Amino acid sequence: MKKLLVDVDCGVDDAQAIMMALAAPGVQILGITCVHGNTVVENVCKNVLRVLKACQKLEIPVFRGASKPILGKTLHAGHFHGDDGLGDAPDPQAPGPELIQEEGAVAAMIRIASEHAGEVSLVATAPLTNLALAVRMDPTFPQKLKALYIMGGNTDSRGNTTMCAEFNFAADPEAAYIVLNDYMCPTYIACWEFTCHNKLPWEFCDTWLAQDSEKARFMKRIFQHSMDVVHNERFEKEMVAGLGFVSCDSYAMAAAIDSSFVTECEQVAVSVELTGAYTRGMMVLDKLGLLKKEHKAFILKKVDMNRFKALMMKALQ
Ligand code: BDR
Ligand code: CA
C-alpha cells in the first residue's frame, strides 16, 4: 500500500491530482493538508471537501494550514482557477467547515509522518509554507518521509507568475528555499516547463470529460473556467509548444503513485533565489556543484504519457 500525505492549495489541477490518487489502486491518502495559494486557505479547505464529496471519500481527514507565506505578498491565481479556486461553479450542498479537523495542518503532518515513519510520501502541489513550518517545528520530520514529490519551480528563467518564477515558488520563496535546503529525503520535482512539455491534448480532455460518471460531471463543472482561459487567451500559444491542457499538479501525483511513470530524471542540487529584483522565487539549478550540496533533487525529465493518461482516465471513472 502506498501511503500519502497531500498538501494542496486546491485549485483545479490540485483537484485533478487528488482525484487521481483517490482512484489509484493500492494508494491510501492519510490526510490532506491545506495552504494558501490559488485561493485563500478557507476556500482551499472547502474545495478539498468538495472533491472528497464528489469521490465519496469524506472520511479522509482534512487539515487547515498556513493562510499566508512566511514573508512577502500573498499571491492568488483566481484569474486561472476562478476566485473560489474551483472555477467559480459553486455547489450549494458543499460540505461545511465543521468537517475540517481541529488539529492544524503542520501538527498533523508531523504526527502522521511519525506514526508511519519511513512509509509515507508527501506530495506537495502548492506553496511550500506548511512544509517549511513543519521542518522548523520538527527538524526530524523530513527524514521520516519515504519521499517528497513537489510540483513547482522552473528549470530555465521563464516563470508563469513573475518573469522568472513559477507560482508555487513565487507565492512563498522562503518556504521553497527552506524545503529545498532542509529536506534530505528523496525529492522529486515536476517543474513548470516539464509539465508544459507534457500537455494533455484537447481531444483527450474531451474523451476524459465525456465519461458517464458523477466524478466526470463534477470535473466538467469546475474545469470549464480554466479551459476557457486557456482557449481564449494567448496562453496556449505562448506558454508552450503544442496544444492542450497542463494539469501541473497531477504529474507530481503520478510520480508518487506509479513508479513506472517517470522514465528519466536529472539529479542536481537545487535552491531558490530570494533576493533578485527580477528573479525572486526562481529555482536555481547548481549544475556546476558550486553549492557543495550532497543532497540532490530528481528533476523529472521524461515520463510515460500513456501511463499518465490511464491514471487520469481512471480518476473520473
Ligand atoms: C501551480 O500553480 C498553481 O496555480 C497550480 O495549482 C499548480 O500547483 C502551477 O504553477
Ligand atoms: Ca496547486
- Predicted confidence at residue 237, as pLDDT, reads 56
Residue 303 host element (H or E) = strand 297-303
- 38 CA: nearest ligand 1 atom: 4
Residue type, position 279, single letter: T
The confidence score (pLDDT) of residue 231 equals: 81
Mean pLDDT for the stretch of residues 152-179: 95
How many residues in total does the chain contain? 317
Nearest to residue 189, comparing CAs of 297, 52, 28?
297
Q: Going by DSSP bridges, is the β-strand pair 270-272/283-285 parallel, antiparallel, or unpaired?
A: antiparallel
In the residue annotation, 9 being an active-site residue is answered as: yes
- Residue 306: pLDDT above 70? yes
Instruction: Kindly list the distances between the CA atom of residue 232 and the CA atoms of 68, 245, 281, in Å, as whole numbers in the listed order.
Output: 31, 13, 28
CA angle centred on 299, ends 39 and 305, rounded to 5°? 80
Contact 75 CB / ligand 1 (< 6 Å): no
What are the pLDDT digits (tens) for 102-113? 999 999 999 999
Torsion of CA 255, 207, 53, 253, to 10 degrees: 10
Note the pLDDT tens digit of each residue in 14-32.
Answer: 999 999 999 999 999 999 9
Q: What is the DSSP letter of 88?
A: T
Instruction: Characterize the bridge pairing of strands 62-64 and 120-125.
Output: unpaired
Place of cell 458523477: 214
Rounded distance, CA 22 to CA 20, Å? Answer: 6
Between the CA of 192 and the centroid of ligand 1 the distance, in Å, is 9
Q: What is the CA radius of gyration of the chain?
A: 18
Work out the average pLDDT over 292-299: 96
At 2, give phi and psi (nearest 5°).
-90, 115
**Is the beta carbon of 85 within 6 A of some atom in ligand 1?**
no
pLDDT of residue 253: 98
Alpha helices, DSSP H only, in the chain? Answer: 12-23, 41-54, 78-81, 105-115, 129-137, 167-170, 173-182, 192-196, 202-209, 214-232, 235-239, 248-257, 305-315
From the CA of 77, which ligand is nearest? 1
Residue to mutate, 19, 20, 168, ligand 1, most ligand atoms under 8 Å from C-beta: 168
Residue 248 Cα to ligand 2 midpoint, Å, equals 8
Give the distance (Å) from ligand 1 centre to CA of residue 126: 7
Measuring CA to CA, which residue among 139, 94, 95, 93 is closest to residue 113? 139
Task: Please give the ipTM for the structure prediction.
Answer: 0.98
Task: Report pLDDT for 234.
Answer: 58
User: Binning pLDDT at 50, 70 and 90, where does residue 4 land?
Assistant: very high
User: From the CA of 9, which ligand is nearest?
Assistant: 2
Which among 8, 2, 5 is positioned nearest to 250, based on CA atoms? 8
How confident is the model over 242-262, as pLDDT tens digits? 678 999 999 999 999 999 999
pLDDT at 292 over 60: yes
Closest CA to 167 of 203, 195, 139, 140: 195
Q: How many angstroms separate the Cα of 300 from the Cα of each of 105, 153, 191, 219, 313? A: 27, 12, 7, 27, 22
Residue 96's pLDDT is 93
pLDDT at 236: 52
Read off the amino acid at residue 36: H
Q: What single letter denotes the amino acid at residue 223?
A: F
The span from the CA of 303 to the CA of 306, in Å, is: 9
